[in-house]
Amino acid sequence: MKSKSICSMLAVASLGLCAAASAAGLIPEPNANAVPLATKANPETLVLDARTAGRGFMTSTMSIPVEPGPFTFVYPEWIPGEHGPTGPLADISQLKVSANGHPLTWRRDKVDLYAFHVDVPQGATAITVRFTVLLNSPDVMSTPNLAVVNWNRVLFYQNDINYHNYYLKVSLILPPGWGYGTALTTTSHAGGRVDFAEEPLTYVVDSPLDMGRYYKQVLLWHEGTAHQWLDMFADAPQDLDVPAKILGAYKNMTPEALALYGSRHWYNYHSLLVLSNKVGFQGIEHHQSSDDRAPASFMVNPKWQLIAGDLLTHEFSHSWNGKYRRPWDLTTDNYQIPQRTDLLWVYEGMNQYLGDLLSFRAGIRKPSEYPQYLAAIYTQMKTEPGRDTEPLIDLTTAAPFLYEARGEYPSIRRTAGDFYTEGELLWLDVDSIIREKTHGKKSLDTFLHLYSEPKFTGPITKTYTRADIEHLLNEVVPYNWHGFFQRHVYEVAKLPPSGELKRSGWRLVYTAKPNPFIQAREQMMHMNYQWLSYGFNIGRNRALLDVREGSPAWNAGMAPGMKIESVDGQSYSPSVLKYVMVQAEHTHAPTTFIVSKDGWFQTLEVSYFGGPRYPHLVRIPGTVNMLAKIMAPHAKH
Helix (H), strand (E), coil (C) string for 355-384: HHHHHHHHCCCCHHHHHHHHHHHHHHHHCC
DSSP symbol at 183: S
SS3 528: strand
SS3 187: strand
**pLDDT surpassing 50 at residue 232:** yes
In whole angstroms, give the CA distance from residue 131 to residue 47.
11
Q: Are 201 and 171 in contact (CB under 8 A)?
A: no
Candidates 2.60.40.3650, 1.10.3720.10, 2.60.40.420, 3.50.50.60; CATH matching 35-212: 2.60.40.3650
The pLDDT of residue 455 is: 87
The pLDDT of residue 14 is: 32
CA angle (166 as vertex; 164, 170 as ends), nearest 5? 110
In whole angstroms, give the CA distance from residue 503 to residue 152.
45
What per-residue string of b and e applies to 192-212 under the rule 16 or more CB within 10 Å gives b?
eebbbebbbbbbbbbbbbbbb
Q: 35: Cβ–Cβ under 8 A, 6 or more apart, which residues? A: 1, 161
Nearest Cα residue to 325 out of 447, 204, 203: 447
Q: Which residues pair with 605 in a beta bridge?
A: 592
Q: Are strands 209-212 and 146-149 parallel, antiparallel or unpaired?
A: antiparallel
Q: How many CB atoms lie within 10 A of CB 614?
A: 23
Specify the amino acid at residue 140: V
Q: 608: Cβ–Cβ under 8 A, 6 or more apart, which residues? A: 533, 534, 535, 552, 553, 581, 584, 591
Q: Are 230 and 421 in contact (CB under 8 A)?
A: no
Q: Helices H, strands E: what count in the chain?
A: 22, 33
Model confidence band, residue 18 (pLDDT cutoffs 50, 70, 90): very low
pLDDT (average), residues 289-300? 98
Give all strands (DSSP E) within 100-206, no chain letters.
102-104, 106-108, 115-120, 126-134, 142-143, 146-149, 157-158, 167-173, 179-182, 186-190, 193-196, 199-200
Top CATH class of 516-614 equals mainly beta
The pLDDT of residue 13 is: 32
**CATH superfamily of the domain spanning 325-507:** Neutral Protease Domain 2 (1.10.390.10)
Q: What is the percentage of the chain residues whose pLDDT exceeds 90?
A: 93
Q: At what angle do helices 349-362 and 253-261 cross, to 10 degrees?
A: 130
Q: What does the mean pLDDT of the chain come to?
A: 94
Q: At what angle do helices 417-437 and 466-476 cross, to 10 degrees?
A: 30
How far, CA to CA in Å, does 374 sit from each of 308, 313, 356? 14, 17, 10
Q: How many CB atoms lie within 10 A of CB 555?
A: 15
**pLDDT surpassing 70 at residue 404:** yes
Q: What are phi and psi of 430, to 5 degrees?
A: -60, -45
In whole angstroms, give the CA distance from residue 155 to residue 199.
14
**pLDDT surpassing 90 at residue 340:** yes
Residue 106's Cα: distance from chain center in Å?
36
For the chain, how are helix, strand and coil distributed in percent, rounded to 5?
A: 30, 30, 40
pLDDT (average), residues 152-169? 98
Q: What are phi and psi of 460, to 5 degrees?
A: -120, 170
Express each pLDDT in 234-256 by its tens digit. 999 999 999 999 999 999 999 99
In whole angstroms, give the CA distance from residue 27 to residue 71.
29
Q: 226: Cβ–Cβ under 8 A, 6 or more apart, which residues? A: 264, 266, 267, 268
Q: Are strands 186-190 and 193-196 parallel, antiparallel or unpaired?
A: antiparallel
Distance linking the first and last C-alpha atoms of the chain: 53
DSSP symbol at 547: E
Specify the amino acid at residue 547: V
In whole angstroms, give the CA distance from residue 554 to residue 101.
66
The pLDDT of residue 31 is: 76
Model confidence band, residue 557 (pLDDT cutoffs 50, 70, 90): very high
Express each pLDDT in 347-365 by its tens digit. 999 999 999 999 999 999 9
Model confidence band, residue 12 (pLDDT cutoffs 50, 70, 90): very low
In whole angstroms, give the CA distance from residue 234 to residue 370.
30
Nearest Cα residue to 318 out of 344, 362, 287, 345: 287
Q: Go through the chain and tell me how many residues it has.
A: 637
Helix (H), strand (E) at residue 144? none
Model confidence band, residue 49 (pLDDT cutoffs 50, 70, 90): very high
The pLDDT of residue 27 is: 44
Residue 300's Cα: distance from chain center in Å?
22
More confident residue, 455 or 328: 328
Domain-wise residue ranges, the chain: 35-212, 325-507, 516-614
Q: 593: Cβ–Cβ under 8 A, 6 or more apart, which residues? A: 556, 558, 564, 566, 567, 603, 604, 605, 606
The pLDDT of residue 8 is: 28
Q: How many CB atoms lie within 10 A of CB 78?
A: 21
Q: What are phi and psi of 423, to 5 degrees?
A: -60, -40
**pLDDT surpassing 50 at residue 180:** yes
More confident residue, 11 or 119: 119
Q: 394: Cβ–Cβ under 8 A, 6 or more apart, which residues? A: none
